[in-house]
Structures are given as structure tokens and as C-alpha cells.
Structure 1
Amino acid sequence: MEAARRAVCVEDPFNPLITTTLQASGILVISHFFHIILKPLGQPGPVAQILAGIVLGPSLLSHISIVKDFFLQASSADYYDIFSSIYNILFMFLIGLETDIPYLRRNLRKASIIAYGGMAVCSIFGLAASFFIIHILKLTANTVALANVIMIILANTASPVVIRLAAELKFSTSDTGRLAICSSLVNEITCVVWLCLIVTFMSWKMFGRAILFSLLALGLVILNRYLAAWCNQRNRNQKYVTNTEMLSILFLVIALSFLTEEYGFNSTIACFFLGLLFPREGKTSRTLLIKLAYSVYNFILPIYFGYIGFQFNITYLNSYRNVIAVVLMIILSMGGKIIGTLATCHYLNVPTIDGIVLSFLLNLKGHAELLVVGVLRKSILKSWWDQNIHNLVVMVVVLNTIISGPAVAYMLRKNGKYFAQKHTSLEFLEPESELRMLACVYGSRHITGKVGLIFALSGSPESPTTAYLTHLVELPKKRRKKKLMYHQLQDGDQFSDEEEYGGNEVVEINEAVDTLTMENKFMIHQSKVVSSFPRMYEDVCDGIEDLRVSIVFLTFHKHQRLDRKLEPGKEGIRVTNQKLLRHAPCSVGIFVDRGQTGFHLPTSESVQNVATLFFGGPDDREALACSKRIASHPHINFSLIRFIQESPSDHKEFVENTSHSNSEVLMEMSNRDMEAEIDRAFLEDFYNRYVASGQVGYEDRYVNDRTQTLEALRGTGERFSLLIVGKGGRGHSPITEGLSDWEECPELGIVGDLLASSEFNINCSVLVIQQHQRSETDLTDD
């Protein structure tokens, strides 16, 4: 890069480097101050950071001559350019790593239509406005290039700003937030491709360079796969790869990006695709995600947004011509995004409120527009470059973000229920819809069964599934911190002692997840919660709300010994399970893992036999809804076993009569009769969809009292590796009356507690499910 060469050759590199460092520190401090003030008002972090840059920049503090001489040195601008380029490389690489590829693949058409709708209208507005702006600013040369600049500036969306804003406002996992992120990525990549095409077709020489850099990027993608596999194998018994190995991979990415920038191209696309195509399994990807995410979100992005605000100069608005140009650009940008996005949302049947939020999100601008101007300035506009164009772009970028960010925050706060967690249970979730689930483990002994359960719930390869795994680690009452200096840490270790919690079990958990990912191409997102048992349920509930999962799977507090008996574990685990059953904002499943004799990972060599026991009630319906996914798994033999008290003739009526209930109008019905009717309708739907087609097995068990129920349950437990049952909510029933006499763990319900009892002596694993019951307030809001 030209800026890098100038910075290296400067006579006194130390002084401008200190200036740059102090400027970054000032932005961090001031942005933290603004964030404290604006966060209670619902304003996101990027707005506070841009305001911090404005305060520190030439509009306010740097307008003072002493501060200006210190912060605005001629040589320090080169350092700003270098750091900005490195920041852009790192967070675009991280964005690629964090991109939800399955969701992007499923919704690429929808996201592209929304992105291109806003782009098309903004491009038309930009083309019309370019003639007016060229005239009002009295520009006479390279008008075609300038028209393209204005069109790109109006059409572009800054994906880093959208991603960070969605994360700050806690709706990045909602349907609207994910769609906005995908649309912003499509938008920005398209605009950068547009820019690269302009540069590429300047001459045959530039066209040849474009082919060369594309091949170099492809070669680095292939090299990264081998490097990641080698690092994973080399650090087999470690939590992470070493810092040296991680920095070596990042060095290759930065080197290729700098080389690309040196010859007049934008490296944004290359960085994004290098991250997008980086292998997701193994320690290398995990290390890059953890360490890059911490650095980028806590230091790099605040400085990045602050530097955008730092370039804002209010004195540019002293001229009425400039004011007219800035206002026109902002109005056209916002108007184009709103018109284009709402039109495409209407075409796609997206709700209007979602379309308005999407339009403001896609109007967010960022540093990419400044990079566009920088590349064109060096390649096309160098003969007539005017600082006014740069100031115009900065004004549009800053003001668009300052307007759109608070607007999105206000709409989300005003219409929060539209973006809240929608699917808090599985009963009404169609099997073709995405299943979002969270599994919690306390140690390595729990991971094998949980990974198998997660994979079983993924259903068929066509079923959209997003799985999260959280490692819950007890925080000791007395935290013992290791008093080590940074240079005393082993290579690859973290400076925070929080990473030490979990011990070597973390390695075994990671190994099990990585093995599943490599062998079955199924991705599990991992996280860790370090908390005391009295507060652990709150952290899990927060995670459920942030991730918007429909069901959470907990670990039973007992574990199987070598003699196949269940031994009680920590009482804190049981208390946490009981609290989550009461407070979790979604359905809850408690997994009783008999790993030696029970359920294992379903594979072609190890086909698992699974059954759902249906007695009736909302929890049993939830268990059967959960079983729909398991029944679709190619390596699972599934059966539905229905326990009934009626005579066998009633089953014939259940199978044959699938629509008669619609011909009658029931004026009065007790709660029990209503539940029975709901059960009947749910079973009919399941029978017609799965049993009639021969996909799953079906059995009726006729029992009249608890003795017959016990015999039926004991015989069932010997035939299957996993039994799924609802926790309760069935009301009074003769076939389960008296089973609670031996109740030991009420959190499992009557039947679940019996199946998990050591005295019952069965070898299968058990999954007990409780359906989330929505409150009256939720129902009223709907």
C-alpha cells in the first residue's frame, strides 16, 4: 500500500504513531461515556462510537489549534489508513467466519430480492442526482466515474454496521435480523463487485491483475483448508491452536489483502470469502472465532466507527451548495431504500413493519463508501480529485448512520413483540420449519448422549436445524486467580482465568462436536457459561431469549455408573433443572442418559430404536411434536406407543374417522374433554402423515390400572434405546393413578420418574419434555 510505504519512510515514525494510538484510546474512552448515556435510551453502540469520533474530530475538539496540531499531523493520516485497512480485513474475515451458511443458502433468493430492490431504486435516484450534484459542485471531468461513485454510495449498505447494530439491539437471531444481515452482505458484496468491475475494465492490464488476484484468493482458500487440518491435528490435546499458528493464518490473509489493495482493487470480497470458506470444524476455526470476536467487537469496531465520525467536519456545511448536496444525497438514499425495500417486501409477503425496519437497516453506511472513493481516487479520479467529494461522502455516511440507527432502535422498542421469540414450543411448529434448539452439558460424561440427541433431532438432511451447545461450569465460591504475567502464559493460553474453568473436559467436549461436524457435516454452535448454581438458570434463560430457541435440553442430575445403576450427582444441577422448568421461556427437555446401554449417536452402523409414549395432554403432544424430527432421521427406527383405557374398537374409529369432528358444533366442553379432542386431532395428523405412509410404527397399549401400566412400561424399556415422554399435565387418569407413590424426582413427572428409577431396572435412555405454556399477557399481545 502507498500509505504503508510513506509511513515506513517517514523521518519520525514514533510521534505520529503515538498520535494514532492516543486518538484510538480517546475514541474508546469517549465512546464508552456516550454508550453509558445512550444505552438506557435504547441507542446502539455504533451511534455512540461515531459521536465519539465527531467530538474528537475537527468538528469539535480538533477544531482547537493545539489539539488539531497534535491529532491532525500530515504523516499520521497514513497510519490511520493502514490501521483502517487492517481493521477492515479482520472484521470482514470474521463476518465470513460467523456467517450462517445454511440460513444464507435457504434464504439467498429472498435476501437478494430485498437487497437488489433497494439498490435498484437508489441507483436510479443516484444517476438522476449525479447530474445535479456535478452541476452544483461545478465538476467538469470524469463525470461518468463520479456518477458511478454517487450511485454506489447511495446503493451500498455497510454490513459490519448492520451486524453490530442487530447484535446490540438483540434481534440478530430473529427472522428480521437474520434477513437484514444476509441482505446487507449481498448488497455490500454486489457494490464492491461493481466497483471492482469499474477498475477491472479500465485496461487489459487491470483485467489480467483481477484474474491473478482471484486465482491467488482461490489458492489461499485451498491452503487454509490444509493449514486448518494440520493445526487441528498438531494441537489434538489442546483447547486452542497456538498464537503463532493463528497469527500465521491471519498474516496470509492480510498479506493477500494488502497486495490486492496495492494494485487498485478492494479486498473486501476476498476477505469475506476467505472467512466464509474457512473450515468450520476443529480448533483452528474455534480459536479464530473466539480471539477475533473479542478483539473486533471490543476494540476494532469501536475504533472503526469512531474513525468514521472523526472524519466528519461540520465546517463543510458552511456553503449552501454543500448543504443542498448533502441533504439531497441523504433524502435520496433513505427514500430509495424505503421505496425499494417496501416494494420487494410486498412482493415477498413480508409484513410492513418488518419492511420498514429492513429499509432503515439497509440504509446504514460505513467505511466501505470511503474505500470506494479511495480506490477510484487512486485509479480513475486522480487527475481531478477534489476534497469536497471526500467530505460529501463522509457527511452522507455519518448522517445516514446517525439517523437510521436511532430510528431502528425506536421502532424495535415500540414494536418489540413483532421481533420477540415466536416459536416457544414445538407443537405448532411445522416439520419443514427451522428448529432452533439448545443443549446444556456440565462435563464430558454428558457430551456423547447430548451430541447423539442433537443429531437425531436434526431429522432428514433437508430439515433446517440450528443447534447450540452450552457448557455450564460451576463458579466456585472462592475464585482463585493465577497471578501470572502475560509473558508467563503458555503459547495459546488466554490471559483471563475464566478460560481455566471447565478443565480438560473442554477438550473432550470440543473433540466430540468436531467429530460430528467432520463426519456428518452438521454444525453445532458452542458457548460456555461460568456461573454459580443459584444464578445459572438466569444465564441459561438469557441465552434462550438471545438465541430464540424453541426447546432446551437439560442434563439429569444422576449419571450411570459402571454397574449400570444411576448415581446422584451435584444437587445444584437438580435445583437448576427445577428452576428452568419454572422459568425457561421455551419448552424444556430433561435427558436421562444411560450411555452404556441406552441411546447413542445414530449412524448407518448403529441404527437406534426410539419410541414416544403417549398418554395425553400438552406435554405428551410436545413430546410427539419433538418426535416428528427424530422420525425423519434416516438411521432411526421410530415407533409411537399410545396408552389407552378404552376398548379396542375405539382405535378403529380413531384410524378411520379423520374429519367427522368438523361436522359437529360443540357448545360446551369441559377442559378434560377439550384436551382429549386436541389430543385426538394431533394424533390423527401424526397418523396420516407418518404412520399411514409406513415411515414409523404404531402400537396401542390397552391398560386399565397402574399394574398393567407398569408391565407395559417395563416391556417397552427393553425394546428401545430411547423413550420420549411428556412430563405431565394429563390430569387424573386411572392408568397412571398410584404411580406417584414411588416418586423420587417430581421434575420428571410420574412416568418419567418411573422410567428413570434405578429400581425400575431398564436399560434405555429417557427424554422427558415439558411444553412451554404462554402467559395470558403473551396471548393478549398476539
Structure 2
Amino acid sequence: MDQAKRLLCTHDLWNPFNTTFVQTCGMLLVSQIFHVILKPFGQPGPVAQILAGLVLGPSLLCKIDRIRQIFIQPAFEDYSFLLLFVFRILFMFTIGLEADLPYICRNFQRIGVIAAWNVAVCAAFGAAASFFVINVLKVTAHRLAFANVIMIIVASVASPVVVRLVAELKFDTAEPGRLAISAALFMELFCITWYSTYLAFSSGKMFGFALVCIVGTGIVAYANRYLANWCNKRRRHMKFVPSTEMSGILLLVILLSFMIEKLGFNSMISCFLVGVAFPKEGKTTRTLLHRLTYAVNNFILPIYFGFNGFRFDVNYLINVRNCIVVALLILLSMGGKIIGTLCACHYLNIPRNEAVVLAFILNLKGHGELLVIEAFSRSDGQTWWDDNTHKLVIIIVVINTLIAGPVVSFILKRDRKYFAHKLTFLEFLDPENELRFLACVYESRHITSKLGLIATMTGSQRSPTVPYLVHLVELQKRHRRKKKLMYHELQDGDQFSDDDEYGGNDIIEINDAVDAFTTDSKILVHQSKAVSWFPKVYEDVCSTAEDLRVSIVFLTFHKHQRLDGKLENDKDGVRIVNQKVMRHAPCSVGIFVDRGLTGFQLPSPELVQNVAMLFFGGPDDREALACCKRIAVHPYVNLTIIRFQSEGQPKNQQVHDRNGEEEEQHISISSHEVDMAIDNVFMEDFCNRYVTSGKVKYMEKKTESGEETVEILKEIGEMYSLFIVGKGGRGNSPMTTGMSDWEECPELGAVGDILASAELNLGASILVIQQHRNATEGHEDNEHPVLDDDD
């Protein structure tokens, strides 16, 4: 770390430090202005931040002598290098923490094929162009190393830029976005490994240093795991661990990185691997993600991108020779990524629209190329090429990102419907495909049943699931008033607070329950929190469901069970939230009626749960049956499908020709008959897959009226701990005739309302599911208007 040594030995520490601070503040301010201007046009944050650096850099404002004297000090390069080095450590460690390892493992072949095709094609293009570039730039020393640099520049991709861009475009939960992030990680790690291997085998000394780096990475990864578990046990009944303990963990990572850089290698892979090996559950990980994610997204990456733009010097493009080299490498990089991605996607049967988006996302560059050229140039203590080459690499990086970012944003904005979330219900979702669902809780007493539901839905490794849990916190009037106050209007001792202070002890209890559940079951639950006043809570739920691209949302019923077994109203406004979510949700919705200790519990070898699905017919019941496909494979759940059927079947209407000359018979099929046919096919497929194999029990009940249905429900009421039923959508079925006459909660449907009523007095929990309906489709929910706050 020569830069660090020079900083410690300099006689004037303050002026360069002050300059770096002023530059940082200026970049954040100007980038925010650009972001506000460009956001309506769909441009992502990295583009605005690079443009901010361009404005403040030697391309524009630094052409003025007074500004250049302030912004560019003698030791500025050393300060910026050290600052960016620490930033690089933090965001690579954060990316490792957030890496979706289950998704990468399931799609390893697809990700590997995309990354391999891109690297192979780009490396071939770079190798072919290296002869021309070497001659044009008149490189005389270490031509083989320079050829390797050219191939890496063309083939590389900056994973932090990809992660940030995809996240800002709300594309990180879409399949193409997740593929792009994973492929970018593969490609970047491969390029860094490529040049690290080249350095390691350049001499016996460097090979020994490489082994030291590998051993050091393993030691720090193991030490951090031990420290994380120690902090989790030491800080019980706390949401976060103190900053001192978090700083100690980060200090180990920073010291490891300094050692690796001092030995002549790049520390990016080590930081990433330490983050990947870090435990994903517990307070320590929650604290690191909470603190680092905010810092990385709002300060570290904007400053990092801004400094890249600041180092861009348009004066180097005045030379025709430099322009030719820059244009050639940019075209080869884009062309190689497009050809490689299209070939890989054709092999993997990925649509061309998604392939084009993948190609431009994988063309984003940021820092890997600069690190490689710096590492190659200082590996033997001397500079292999002049500063002109380094500046050209910076120009290539900036222009590539400025082109690729807007193109990706334009394509996603133009084809918004194509890239929109399509898996909005479960009926046609293959049980072996990934299921994303969202569970909502208001208080700590809701968490036990929701965790049991999450465990039940995550019944088998062959049926991958991604569970999300959102804690909905009501924003009280005093908090709303406090947020509107100016600083001088606050009372003594009062202060502004963020969302972390809302929720009280419920937050700690919910986090403790989730941590214990994750530790025991190894099911990673992604937690979040939404703080809002109740008339707006449904908007938070719907927007979260849309951003996360979940297929179903599980809500909490507005009543809870008392000790005497009766249901009592919960917080005011919960029922209104449920009704509005069922009306506006971008996916299917389930309402869970928790019966406490007498109802559904977390399945375990000691507590096997008996679950019954009541099938009357219709889209909602089919959605409930599709949900049962996930539950059926759980080893500690006994699932029974009870199908209710009516003796009378509707007859086809016959229409005859009025003249009688050519008597033709037309069969008009009602929508109810179509639904019945779909029900039969869906049920037959379910039985062939689960009932015949013995995983699920099946029985039929004959009924002719709502009264008979109620009597059957009373007979089987005490046999199960959970009843699953569709909300409605069955039309005028004789099996439920008259059941809605005493309906108290229309959001539960006729059958769900009877099951939750005091008349049956069941001890079982109830899950009522409504299949997602498009906004243009009319359905029976319109008959029940949403209650206002005054009702």
C-alpha cells in the first residue's frame, strides 16, 4: 500500500483531506441534483453520480484554475485511492452478505453458461484487438501482460454497479435481474481470479504470497463466524448489536484486505467470500446489513461512481489515436457481451427480449478494470505503461456505463408489461418452481402462527420458497405531528427519530422469534418493516408485494382469540386494511385466522399438524388447492382434501332452429360449467400427484344446501388444527345457499365466515385464500364495499 505510506509521511495532511471532503460533499450534492432531473426519464442513480464527477472533474469545472487548485492537491490521488479502497472493501463484503446462495445453487448451470459465453467471446475479441492496441499505443514492455489487461477490460463487468442499477430499477427480484446479478458476480470474480492466477505463477515468491492470502481469508472467515455467534448469544433481547462489536468485525476484514493488497494481490474476492461465509441469521447480520446497506447505497457507491467520473478527462479524447482505441474497445465490449449473451440465452431457451437486457446490464463497468491495470503496473515496483493508458481505461469504463445504463432503463420502461410480474397466483405455478410469498404481522403474538405457516409452505427442498415477513407498525398521531415539527419547535429532550424507534418491544420479540426459527429450521426469512398510518398501510403492503414480486400475501385477521376461546376485535383499522389489500393487491391474498394454542402450530416431530382443505369449486378454491401442493410435501403435516359435491348437475341448454327445417342443436356452456370442468381437471391432476402416492388423504361429502354443509363442518370441526378454503368465486352454488344470510365478515367468504363464527365455536385456525383478479375483471367483492374509518 504505497499510497498509505505516502499519506503517513506527508507534511501536510489537512489540505488534501479537506480537499477530499469538499469533493465528496460536492459530488453528493451535484449527483442528487442530476438524479432529480434524470429520474423522470428513467435514468438510474449511477449515471447521475458519474455525471456529477464529470462536471466537477477536469473535463468541466476543474478547467478553471481557482477550482482546480482547490479540488486537485498534490496528495489527492493518494487520499482518493485510500478512500476508494476502504469503500471497495465495504461494498464487496456487503454484496457477499446479500448474495442469494440458494438461487445461485439452483441455477448454477444457467449462470455458468451465461458467464462462460460472455467471458469466452469477449476474451477472444480482446485478444484479437490487443495486437492493434499495443501498436497504436506503442507499448514496448510486458506486451503479454498488457494483452491480458485488454482481454480483462473487454470481458469484465462491475457487480456493484449491476447490483445498484438493477435495484434502482426494481428489477432485482425479476428472473432476468437475478440472473444478471449472479452472472456479473461470476464474471467479475473470474476476471479477478484470472489476473491473480497470472500474478501467482509469475514467480515462486508470488505463489507463496497467494497461499498466504488464501489461508488468511479462511482464518478471517472462521473468526467472523465465531464472533457473529458470540455476539448473537451475548446480546439477547436486542434488535441490533452495538457499533463497537460491528466495527471489530469490519476491522478484521479491512486488515485482511490491507495484507492482501500489500502482498500484491487484489482483495475483492476475499472480501466477497468472507461476506458469503458470514452467518445469515441473527442480530449481527441484521446490524451489518442495516448499517452497511444504508451507507453503501447513499454514500459509498455514489462517491465511488462520482470519483470515477471525476477522473474522466475529455482532453485525452482530442487525440485521434486515443479516440480509435476507446471506440474500438467499447464496441468490442458491447459486441462481445451481446453475442455471448444471445448465444447463451439461445442455448438456455431464454427469450430474446430478456437476452438483450442481460447483455447491456453485463456491459456495466466500474472498478475491476482499474484495479487490474494498477495491480499489473505495480506488481514488480515499476510502471509498465504511461499515465495516458490509465486515463484511457477510465474513459472506457465511464462511457460504457453511461451508454449501458440508459439503454437498460429505456428497454425496461418500453417493455414494462413484458417484464412485469406475471406469477401473481399459484394455480399454474409448478410446485417445483420457486414460490415467493409475503406474511404480514402487526404484533408479536402474530409471529408464532406466521412462522408456522412459513415452515409449512417451505415443506421440501424440491419446492424452493423465498419467504418475506413485514412488520406493519401504526404511525400514531403524536408521531405524525412530531415529523411535521421544525427542529426549534421540538420540546426539550425530544429529537427526530427514524422508523427504528417505532414498534416498541414487538420489534425485539419478533426478531428474537425469527432468529430462533431460522437457527432451528435453516429457513432464511427476509424481514422488513413498514411504518404508516392505517389508511395508507394497504398501499405499503401492495407496493411491497409488487416490488418483491410475490405470488401471495398472507394477512392477519382483525380478531384474536381470548382465553375463553371467543374472538375479540384487534387494532382499529386492521379489517379495513385487509379489505383494501384484497381489493388492490397485485397477487393472491390469504387471511389467516389464528386460534392460538388450540389452532395451528409450528409443525414438528412432536407436534404433527392435521390440516384440511375444503374444496367447493371455483378459482379461489383452486388457488387454495394449489397452495396445498406446497403443504402436502411437509413431513410433519397430515393433509386431507375434502371435496363437497352436489347431487344435482346443471343440464346443457338446447337451442333449436325456429323454422324446424334444419334442426340444429347448439350447446351453450355457462361459465359455471366451465369452472366445474376446470375444477375436475385440476383436482384430478392433484390426486394423481399426491393422493395416489399416499401423501394426501382424499374424501368426498355430498350436500344439497347450506344447512347440510354447516352440519358437515360441525362434524369435522374438531378433527383438524387448520382449515384452508377459498374465499368465494363459486357462483350460486346450492352447497352454500343461505350461508351468507348471517355473514359477518364478507372478506372471509361464506364458508370462511361460518368457520370463524361463534356458532361453530371451532378451535382450529382458518386460512381463507382469494385468487388474484385483474382490475378489469368484475368479481363478487364489489358487492361488499370497503368500510370507511367511521364505520
Taking structure 1 as the reference length, the TM-score comes to 0.95
Q: How many angstroms does 1:131 deviate by?
A: 0.6
Q: Is the 8 A contact 2:139 2:385 kept in 1?
A: no
Secondary structure of 2:385's counterpart equals coil
Counterpart for residue 584 of structure 1:
585
Looking at structure 2, the residues matched to 563 and 777 of structure 1 have their Cα atoms a distance apart, in angstroms, of: 42
Counterpart for residue 370 of structure 1:
370
Q: Quick one: percent identity of the two aligned structures?
A: 58
Could you say if the C-alpha distance between residues 235 and 272 of structure 1 is closer, same or farther in structure 2, counting changes exceeding 3 Å?
A: same
Letter aligned with residue 181 of structure 1: I
Q: Is the 8 A contact 1:363 1:401 kept in 2?
A: yes
Q: Deviations over 1:593-642 (max 9, x none)?
A: 11210101111121111110001111000000001100111111101001
Q: How many angstroms does 1:101 deviate by?
A: 1.0
Q: Deviations over 1:239-295 (max 9, x none)?
A: 100010011101111110111111111000001111111001110000000110011
Letter aligned with residue 510 of structure 2: I
Looking at structure 2, the residues matched to 747 and 405 of structure 1 have their Cα atoms a distance apart, in angstroms, of: 44
Q: How many angstroms does 1:383 deviate by?
A: 4.3
Q: How many angstroms does 1:776 deviate by?
A: 4.9
Moved more, 462-471 or 69-78: 69-78
Looking at structure 2, the residues matched to 234 and 194 of structure 1 have their Cα atoms a distance apart, in angstroms, of: 42
Q: How many angstroms does 1:667 deviate by?
A: 5.4
Looking at structure 2, the residues matched to 503 and 17 of structure 1 have their Cα atoms a distance apart, in angstroms, of: 41
Once the two structures are superposed, the pairs formed by residues 520-531 of structure 1 within 5 Å of their partners are 520-531=521-532
1:571 aligns with 2:575: no
Once the two structures are superposed, the pairs formed by residues 70-219 of structure 1 within 5 Å of their partners are 70-219=70-219
Secondary structure of 1:140's counterpart equals coil
Q: Is the 8 A contact 1:647 1:702 kept in 2?
A: no
Looking at structure 2, the residues matched to 30 and 496 of structure 1 have their Cα atoms a distance apart, in angstroms, of: 27
Looking at structure 2, the residues matched to 561 and 587 of structure 1 have their Cα atoms a distance apart, in angstroms, of: 29
Count, aligned residues: 754
Q: Is the 8 A contact 2:15 2:73 kept in 1?
A: no
Secondary structure of 1:431's counterpart equals coil
| Structure 1: tracts of 5 or more residues without a match | 486-493, 649-664
Secondary structure of 1:411's counterpart equals helix
Looking at structure 1, the residues matched to 173 and 23 of structure 2 have their Cα atoms a distance apart, in angstroms, of: 34
Looking at structure 2, the residues matched to 384 and 742 of structure 1 have their Cα atoms a distance apart, in angstroms, of: 86
Letter aligned with residue 605 of structure 1: E
Looking at structure 2, the residues matched to 62 and 426 of structure 1 have their Cα atoms a distance apart, in angstroms, of: 57
Counterpart for residue 699 of structure 1:
699
Could you say if the C-alpha distance between residues 751 and 202 of structure 1 is closer, same or farther in structure 2, counting changes exceeding 3 Å?
A: same
Letter aligned with residue 300 of structure 2: I
Q: Is the 8 A contact 1:726 1:769 kept in 2?
A: yes
Once the two structures are superposed, the pairs formed by residues 483-498 of structure 1 within 5 Å of their partners are 496-498=497-499
1:253 aligns with 2:244: no
Once the two structures are superposed, the pairs formed by residues 52-451 of structure 1 within 5 Å of their partners are 52-380=52-380, 382-451=382-451
| Structure 2: tracts of 5 or more residues without a match | 488-494, 650-664, 779-791
Letter aligned with residue 502 of structure 1: G
Looking at structure 2, the residues matched to 318 and 311 of structure 1 have their Cα atoms a distance apart, in angstroms, of: 16
Moved more, 598-607 or 524-533: 598-607
Secondary structure of 1:467's counterpart equals strand
Letter aligned with residue 10 of structure 2: V
Looking at structure 1, the residues matched to 238 and 381 of structure 2 have their Cα atoms a distance apart, in angstroms, of: 52
Q: How many angstroms does 1:774 deviate by?
A: 2.7
Q: How many angstroms does 1:570 deviate by?
A: 1.7
Q: Is the 8 A contact 1:564 1:596 kept in 2?
A: no
Q: Deviations over 1:519-561 (max 9, x none)?
A: 1111110000000100111111110110000000000010111
Looking at structure 2, the residues matched to 666 and 470 of structure 1 have their Cα atoms a distance apart, in angstroms, of: 53
Counterpart for residue 628 of structure 1:
629
Looking at structure 1, the residues matched to 532 and 450 of structure 2 have their Cα atoms a distance apart, in angstroms, of: 21
Looking at structure 2, the residues matched to 703 and 777 of structure 1 have their Cα atoms a distance apart, in angstroms, of: 30
Q: How many angstroms does 1:759 deviate by?
A: 3.0
Q: How many angstroms does 1:741 deviate by?
A: 2.2
Could you say if the C-alpha distance between residues 526 and 508 of structure 1 is closer, same or farther in structure 2, counting changes exceeding 3 Å?
A: same
Counterpart for residue 545 of structure 2:
544
Counterpart for residue 710 of structure 2:
710
Looking at structure 2, the residues matched to 179 and 237 of structure 1 have their Cα atoms a distance apart, in angstroms, of: 38
Q: Is the 8 A contact 2:237 2:512 kept in 1?
A: no
Looking at structure 1, the residues matched to 496 and 539 of structure 2 have their Cα atoms a distance apart, in angstroms, of: 26
Q: Is the 8 A contact 1:616 1:676 kept in 2?
A: yes
Counterpart for residue 782 of structure 2:
none
Counterpart for residue 504 of structure 1:
505
Secondary structure of 1:621's counterpart equals helix
Counterpart for residue 40 of structure 1:
40
Q: How many angstroms does 1:668 deviate by?
A: 3.0
Q: How many angstroms does 1:565 deviate by?
A: 1.5
Counterpart for residue 9 of structure 2:
9
Moved more, 371-380 or 361-370: 371-380
Q: How many angstroms does 1:775 deviate by?
A: 4.4
Taking structure 2 as the reference length, the TM-score comes to 0.93
Counterpart for residue 608 of structure 1:
609
Q: Deviations over 1:46-103 (max 9, x none)?
A: 0000000000111001111111111111212111001100110000100111111111
Q: How many angstroms does 1:380 deviate by?
A: 4.8
Q: How many angstroms does 1:706 deviate by?
A: 2.3
Q: How many angstroms does 1:571 deviate by?
A: 2.6
Counterpart for residue 727 of structure 1:
727
Q: Is the 8 A contact 2:724 2:768 kept in 1?
A: yes
Could you say if the C-alpha distance between residues 239 and 94 of structure 1 is closer, same or farther in structure 2, counting changes exceeding 3 Å?
A: same
Q: Deviations over 1:626-661 (max 9, x none)?
A: 01100111111101001112289xxxxxxxxxxxxx
Letter aligned with residue 28 of structure 2: L
Looking at structure 1, the residues matched to 16 and 30 of structure 2 have their Cα atoms a distance apart, in angstroms, of: 21
Letter aligned with residue 626 of structure 2: A
Could you say if the C-alpha distance between residues 74 and 236 of structure 1 is closer, same or farther in structure 2, counting changes exceeding 3 Å?
A: same
Counterpart for residue 463 of structure 1:
463
Q: How many angstroms does 1:702 deviate by?
A: 1.2
Looking at structure 1, the residues matched to 449 and 112 of structure 2 have their Cα atoms a distance apart, in angstroms, of: 39
Q: How many angstroms does 1:709 deviate by?
A: 1.1
Looking at structure 1, the residues matched to 586 and 180 of structure 2 have their Cα atoms a distance apart, in angstroms, of: 25
Could you say if the C-alpha distance between residues 772 and 383 of structure 1 is closer, same or farther in structure 2, counting changes exceeding 3 Å?
A: closer
Counterpart for residue 654 of structure 2:
none
Looking at structure 2, the residues matched to 758 and 190 of structure 1 have their Cα atoms a distance apart, in angstroms, of: 63
Counterpart for residue 741 of structure 1:
741
Counterpart for residue 473 of structure 1:
473
Letter aligned with residue 473 of structure 2: V
Q: Deviations over 1:657-680 (max 9, x none)?
A: xxxxxxxx9953111111111111
Secondary structure of 1:382's counterpart equals coil
Q: How many angstroms does 1:481 deviate by?
A: 5.3
Looking at structure 2, the residues matched to 217 and 42 of structure 1 have their Cα atoms a distance apart, in angstroms, of: 40
Secondary structure of 2:477's counterpart equals coil
Q: Is the 8 A contact 1:50 1:306 kept in 2?
A: yes
Looking at structure 1, the residues matched to 758 and 504 of structure 2 have their Cα atoms a distance apart, in angstroms, of: 30
Could you say if the C-alpha distance between residues 706 and 719 of structure 1 is closer, same or farther in structure 2, counting changes exceeding 3 Å?
A: same
Q: How many angstroms does 1:222 deviate by?
A: 1.1
Secondary structure of 1:718's counterpart equals helix
Q: Is the 8 A contact 1:481 1:497 kept in 2?
A: no
Secondary structure of 2:529's counterpart equals strand
Counterpart for residue 659 of structure 2:
none
Q: How many angstroms does 1:500 deviate by?
A: 1.0
Q: Is the 8 A contact 2:534 2:573 kept in 1?
A: yes
Letter aligned with residue 406 of structure 1: P
Letter aligned with residue 568 of structure 1: N
Once the two structures are superposed, the pairs formed by residues 597-676 of structure 1 within 5 Å of their partners are 597-646=598-647, 668-676=668-676
Q: Is the 8 A contact 1:142 1:381 kept in 2?
A: no
Looking at structure 1, the residues matched to 542 and 673 of structure 2 have their Cα atoms a distance apart, in angstroms, of: 34
Counterpart for residue 516 of structure 2:
515
Letter aligned with residue 453 of structure 2: L
Q: Is the 8 A contact 1:589 1:768 kept in 2?
A: yes
Letter aligned with residue 7 of structure 1: L
Letter aligned with residue 674 of structure 1: V
Looking at structure 1, the residues matched to 757 and 598 of structure 2 have their Cα atoms a distance apart, in angstroms, of: 15
Q: Is the 8 A contact 1:145 1:380 kept in 2?
A: no
